[in-house]
Amino acid sequence: MIVVTGATGNVGRPLVRALVREGEQVTAVARRLPGADRVAGARYLSADLADPEGLAPALEGADALYLLVSGAGEGLDPDRILKAAAGAGIGRVVLQSSQAARTRPDSPSHDHLRVFEEAVRGSGLEWTVLRPGGFASNAFAWAGPVRERREVRSPFGDVGLPVVDPVDIAEVAARVLRDGAHSGRALELTGPAAVTPRERAGAIADAVGAPVRFVEQTREEARAALLEFMPEVVADGTLAILGEPSQDERRVSPDVERVLGRAPRAFAEWARDNAAAFGGPAGD
Ligand SMILES: NC(=O)c1ccc[n+]([C@@H]2O[C@H](COP(=O)([O-])OP(=O)(O)OC[C@H]3O[C@@H](n4cnc5c(N)ncnc54)[C@H](OP(=O)(O)O)[C@@H]3O)[C@@H](O)[C@H]2O)c1
C-alpha cells in the first residue's frame, strides 16, 4: 500500500489516479477531504502532517510514502514524520521538494525543503527526492481574469522557464514509488522547453479559442498580488526565480524522459487539458 500526502493538490490528485490505475492500494491523505471529487478505488483519510502521531491510521500497513510539504512548511517536523513512517514499517519515501532547493541554496523560501531533503537522506529509509521547477498549473491564477476579461496579468512577460506539468511529476512519482530504480537520487523535473508568460497566455488563448490580452505587471504589482495568497518569503523567492532565473533554472532537464521513456508534456497540452477552467471547452 502506498500513502500519498497532499493527495488533493495539483500533484497528489493525478498521483493517486496513476497509482490506482497501476493496481496499487492507495491511501490518500489531506486535512480536508474532497466530497465527490475522489479517485474511485483509493482510500481517503484526513490527517495533518503537523501531528505525525495522528498519521498512524494512514501509515499502518504501508510500504511507501509520498511526502509533500505545502506552503513554507510551518509547524512541520520532518524527523518526527519520518520516524512515524519508519515505525509503521514504511521502507521507501519519495519527497516532493523543489528545483530551487538546489539552485537557490541561500533562499529562505526553500529552507524548509532543504531541511526535509536532509532528513529524508538521513532517515535510513530508501529515498528519492523530486525537484520540480515551476508548475504549469501556476497559470490557474490567471483563470478568473481570463474567464471574466480575457486578460492575463504577469510580470517578466518575456522571461522563459521550462514549466512542468503536474501530471508529469505525478507519473514520475508513481514510477519511483513503485520501484526502487531511482533510489538514492534527486531528480530534477521540468517541461520540454522554456516558455515565457506571454507565450503561456497565447497557449491558453489557443486552448479556449478566443484572444487573450497580455498585460505586463511591474515587479511591485506582481508582489502585491502574490502576497494575497502566499507568505512574504515565498513571494520574494518566487519573483526572484520568475524574473532572474539562473542558467540551471532555464535548462530543460532530461530526468522526466529518463524515468518515463517519453518527452515531458508541453505547456500547450496542459492548457488544452485545463481549458474549461479558463472558460474553454472541457478536456478529456
Ligand atoms: N508551484 C510551483 O511552481 C512549485 C515548484 C516547485 C516545487 N513546488 C512545491 O510543491 C509543493 C506543492 O505541491 P502542489 O501544488 O501539488 O500542492 P497544492 O496543490 O498546494 O496542495 C497541497 C496539498 O497538501 C495538503 N496539505 C497541506 N497542508 C497539509 C498538512 N499540514 N497536512 C496534510 N496535508 C496537507 C492539501 O490539502 P489540505 O489543505 O486539505 O490539507 C493539499 O492536498 C510545495 O512543497 C511547493 O514548494 C511548487
Q: In Å, how far from its chain's centre is CA 29? A: 15
The architecture CATH gives domain 2-196+234-278: 3-Layer(aba) Sandwich (3.40)
Q: Atom 46 of ligand 1 has which residue's CA nearest to it? A: 70
- Measured by CA distance, the residue closest to atom 36 of ligand 1 is 6
Measure 73 CA to ligand 1 centroid, in angstroms.
Answer: 10
How many angstroms is it from 210 CA to the middle of ligand 1? 31
Q: How many other CB atoms are found less than 10 A from the CB of residue 23?
A: 8
**Residue from 17, 55, 68, 267 to probe ligand 1 pocket by mutation (most atoms less than 8 Å from CB):** 68
Which of 33, 38, 70 has the most ligand 1 atoms within 8 A of CB, as the residue to mutate?
70
Q: Ligand 1 center to residue 160 CA distance, Å?
A: 24
Residue stretches of the chain with pLDDT short of 50: none
Give the pLDDT of residue 99.
Answer: 97
Compute the distance between CA of residue 141 and CA of residue 158 in angstroms, rounded to an integer. Answer: 18
Which residues face 148 on adjacent strands? none
Instruction: Say how many Å lie between the CA of residue 51 and the centre of ligand 1.
Output: 16
Residue 191 phi/psi, 5° resolution?
-80, -175
In the block, cell 483509493 appears at 42
> Domains of the chain: which residue ranges?
2-196+234-278
State the Rg of the chain over Cα.
19
Give the three-class secondary structure for 265.
Answer: coil
In the chain, how long is the greatest CA-to-CA distance? 55
Length of the chain: 284
Give me the residue label for grid cell 497532499. 6
Q: How many angstroms separate the CA atoms of 30 and 32, rounded?
A: 6
Contact 167, 264 (CB under 8 A): no
Q: How many CB atoms lie within 10 A of CB 256?
A: 26
Instruction: List ligand 1's pocket residues with C-beta within 6 A.
Output: 5-12, 30-32, 48-50, 68-70, 96, 98, 132, 134-135, 138
- Ligand 1, atom 39: closest residue by C-alpha: 31
Question: For residues 180 and 155, what is the distance between their CA atoms, to the nearest angstrom?
Answer: 40
- For the CA of 32, the closest atom of ligand 1 is 40
How many Cα atoms within 13 Å fall on the side-chain side of residue 220?
Answer: 0
At position 181, the amino acid (one-letter code) is A
**Model pLDDT, residue 87:** 96
Q: Please choose, from the candidates 104, 48, 93, the residue with its C-alpha nearest in 3D space to the C-alpha of residue 234.
A: 104
User: How far from each other are the two terminal CA atoms of the chain, in whole angstroms?
Assistant: 28
Q: What is the pLDDT of residue 284?
A: 57
> Considering only CA atoms, which residue is closest to atom 3 of ligand 1?
134
Opening angle at CA 191, ends 250 and 148, nearest 5? 100
DSSP string for 135-202 = BGGGGGGGHHHHHHHSEEEES-TT--B--B-HHHHHHHHHHHHH-GGGTTEEEEE--SS-B-HHHHHH
CA 67–ligand 1 middle distance (angstroms):
10
Backbone angles phi, psi at 185, to 5 degrees: -130, 155
**pLDDT value at residue 283:** 62
Q: How many CB atoms neighbour CB 124 within 10 A?
A: 10
